Amino acid sequence: EIKIITVDGPSGVGKGTLSQSLANHFGFHLLDSGAIYRVLALYLIQNDEQDALEDEIVQFAQAMDVCFGSKTQKVQVLLSKQDVSELIRAEHVGTLASKIAALPKVREQLLQKQIDFAKLPGLVADGRDMGTVVFPKAFAKLFIDASSEARALRRVNQLKERGLSFNYHTVLDDIIQRDIRDRTRTIAPLVPAEDALVIDTTSLRIDEVFKKALNFVEG
């Protein structure tokens, strides 16, 4: 039986770090579902189709040749055989990803690609609707939250580490916009699954979050 742990939550909450740690700890595979939305957004941008309509976007989703590999610990994303792992992290790609993620037919088209990640011995699935829509039968569901201010601060620091500088207020504004889109969309809105453990990480360190998550998963 494939064991599935889902990690859902809003933008910039540290799901990526937590999911990676859990996957390492249990020796499980990792699904960064946001990367799937990001790679589709990048594909549209590359084809100058950022304003495409829903049905057209679905066709691009069908046509795109995407492949997830892993070199050592890092997840590698290939689009048309090109390594786009860094390119998909750009802010404008994330913004378009968040917009196309609100389209029901686009979500449906990307569903199977996500389910296919479930392999033995297990999977840690990181996203917005992993516990509610994609893997409703997961054996352990986590929902990670934090205030929008704390998340904006973390994102600014993360961007700094990568040599990029962003204004805190611009980043905060973007997080708030993404929250609104994620929480109010009609399809798969961001809400904790009924059986999820909700962890508010506003005043927790990464290792404290990991400990709480581990206790829940192992308990």
Per CB under 6 A, the list member of 5, 6, 7, 11 interacting with ligand CDP is: 11
| Cα-Cα end-to-end distance for the chain | 19
Instruction: Return the exposure string of 152-185: e unless at least 16 CB atoms fall within 10 Å of the residue's CB, then b.
Output: bbbbbebeeeeeeeeeeeebbebbeebbebbeeb
Q: Is the Cβ–Cβ distance between 93 and 87 less than 8 Å? A: yes
Instruction: Find the residue with minimal CB distance to ligand CDP.
Output: 34
| Residue 77 or 217 with smaller CB distance to ligand CDP | 77
Q: Minimum Å distance from CB 76 to ligand CDP?
A: 15
Q: Minimum Å distance from CB 39 to ligand CDP?
A: 10
Q: Minimum Å distance from CB 169 to ligand CDP?
A: 17
Pairing of strands 122-127, 3-8: parallel
Counts of helices then strands in the chain (DSSP H, E)? 8, 8
One symbol per residue from 166 to 195: x for binding ligand CDP (CB under 6 A), - otherwise; what is it?
Answer: ------------x---x-------------
Q: Which two tokens stand for residue 143?
A: 């929902």
**Which residues partner with 71 through β-bridges?**
74
Site for ligand CDP contains 131 (CB under 6 A): no
Using a 10 angstrom Cβ sphere, with 0-12 exposed, 13-18 middle and 19 or more buried, the burial of residue 11 is: buried
Q: Is the Cβ–Cβ distance between 14 and 144 less than 8 Å? A: yes
Sign of CA dihedral 115, 121, 126, 129: positive
| Residue 27 or 138 with smaller CB distance to ligand CDP | 138
One symbol per residue from 17 to 56: x for binding ligand CDP (CB under 6 A), - otherwise; what is it?
Answer: ----------------xx--xx------------------
Per CB under 6 A, the list member of 7, 23, 79, 97 interacting with ligand CDP is: 97
Judged by CB under 6 A, the number of residues near ligand CDP is: 15
What does the binding site for ligand CDP look like in residue numbers (CB under 6 A)? 11-12, 33-34, 37-38, 94, 97-98, 101, 127-129, 178, 182
